[in-house]
Amino acid sequence: MKSGWLLHMNNLRYLLLLPALFCATTAFGERTFKWTDHEGHVHYGNRVPPEYAKQERKVINERGRTIKVYDALKTPEQRKQEKQLAETAEKNKVLAEKQAIHDRSLLATYLSEQDMLLAKNGKVASVDALLQLTSSRVNSMNERLLGLTEEAATYERSGKALPVSLESQINNLRVQITTNEAFIKEKEGERNAIISKFDADIKRYIELTADKPDAKSPKQRLARIDATSNKQKADLSRNDQLLLTTYEGEMDIILTRDQKLSSLNELITLTQTRIQTMQIELDELSDSADEYESRGKKVPEVLLGRMKNVMRGIRQGEDLAVLKQQEKKKLEQQYNKDIERYRLLTANDQ
């Protein structure tokens, strides 16, 4: 207890002597330092002992005021932590700057959240139209592939070599179908991204404009956006939206219909031609079988097998022709309905 009191008195005397000490040291260009030892006691002097040179030191003036501070040397862990904190702060600063730029862009681009909803619906409808066209293209290619595959099967059943051109067409169609299906998947992801981004931007826009005069609460405005979206979905079916965004006029629908019907007619004609070819082949095989029987000979199994394969091919071809005729009729009916619906939707634009 006594030693602590003596130390306190010594420090007090030193403080009282500081002005004189400062004048003496400054006369020789030296500085007065203040530091704390390992036991927490404060010391003053014109030199810091080596064992305390790495910890915090202060330079004081004649009045005892701190005029400069030398920070303690940091440990590797402290330096690493400071670096991480600085990097995090820099990242947050960059993100904040980007957010500020995005906020200004939202406020400069749109007059209201309703404008944003219209922009969102327009972009989504454009992607939907592209998805519909690509899906239709894939369906047509699948139909074409089916016809070519049937034709290839006919060659195999008759024991004939598959033409190189036919094999090439089949392979090319398969590649195109795979490519278009991948494109559809990509566009579906793009559609989802558009919806997510606009939903987030609309919410942010409402937050930014919450203090506008006569503005309703953010909750009320978000509810209104949801109600508007639901009403638009109820008023216009997806097919209606696709009609309005895909075609610029009634003639576009007619041209698209005619192109699809032309493709179907081509496939039907090709199938019928193939049936006729197989029928001629069957007649020739039947004549050969009749010739064997007229001579009192047994019809060879190979010949009978070929006749069965050809007859099977004829039946399959006839089934395909009927199926495509039905598809053609259904397509005509659907496009006729679309044309009538398009006229109704655009009646006020005339």
Read off the pLDDT of each residue in 252-277 and give the average, rounded to a whole number: 88
Q: How much is the pLDDT for 178?
A: 94
Ranking 218-227, 235-244, 311-320 by mean pLDDT, the lowest is 218-227
Q: CA 73 to CA 53: how far, in whole Å?
A: 9
Read off the pLDDT of each residue in 228-256 and give the average, rounded to a whole number: 70
Q: Comparing 18 with 225, which gets the higher pLDDT?
A: 225
Which residue from 213, 214, 212, 230 is spatially nearest to 222, judged by alpha carbons? 230
Q: Are strands 32-36 and 66-70 parallel, antiparallel or unpaired?
A: unpaired
What is the full DSSP assignment across 185-223? HHHHHHHHHHHHHHHHHHHHHHHHTTTSTTPPPHHHHHH
**How far from 194 is each of 123, 126, 216, 227, 316, CA to CA, in Å?**
8, 11, 26, 19, 46
Would the pLDDT of 75 be above 60? Answer: yes
Q: How much is the pLDDT for 184?
A: 93
Query: Which backbone phi and psi does 159 adopt, to 5 degrees?
Result: 75, 15
Q: How much is the pLDDT for 1?
A: 45
Which residue from 232, 258, 236 is spatially nearest to 339, judged by alpha carbons? 258
SS3 125: helix
Strands (DSSP E) found in 42-122: 42-45, 57-60, 66-70
pLDDT, one tens digit per residue, over 223-237 is: 666 655 555 555 566
Looking at residue 93, its amino acid is: K
Q: How much is the pLDDT for 215?
A: 58
Q: 94 near 176, Cβ under 8 Å?
A: no
Ranking 26-30, 175-179, 226-230, 302-306 by mean pLDDT, the lowest is 26-30
Would the pLDDT of 15 be above 60? Answer: no
pLDDT bracket for residue 190 (50, 70, 90):
very high
CA 130, chain centre distance (Å): 15
Residue 211 token pair: 């203090």
Q: Could you state, in order of their start, the residue ranges of all structural domains in the chain?
A: 2-70, 112-241, 247-339
Q: How much is the pLDDT for 222?
A: 63
Strongest mean pLDDT among 121-125, 192-196, 271-275: 192-196
Would the pLDDT of 64 be above 60? Answer: yes
Read off the pLDDT of each residue in 92-120 and give the average, rounded to a whole number: 87
Residues 6+ apart with CB under 8 A from 47: 33
Would the pLDDT of 197 be above 90? Answer: yes
Mean pLDDT over the full length of the chain? 81
Would the pLDDT of 29 be above 90? Answer: no
Biggest alpha carbon–alpha carbon distance for the chain: 146
pLDDT, one tens digit per residue, over 282-296 is: 999 899 889 888 888
Read off the pLDDT of each residue in 260-278 and give the average, rounded to a whole number: 88
What percent of the chain lies above the pLDDT cut of 70?
Answer: 81
Read off the pLDDT of each residue in 253-272 and give the average, rounded to a whole number: 88
Would the pLDDT of 13 be above 60? Answer: no
Q: What own/partner pairs with CB < 8 Å and gap ≥ 24 does 228-232 have?
A: 228/114, 228/117, 229/117, 232/121
- Cβ-in-10-Å burial (0-12, 13-18, 19+) of 154 comes to buried
What percent of the chain lies above the pLDDT cut of 90?
Answer: 14
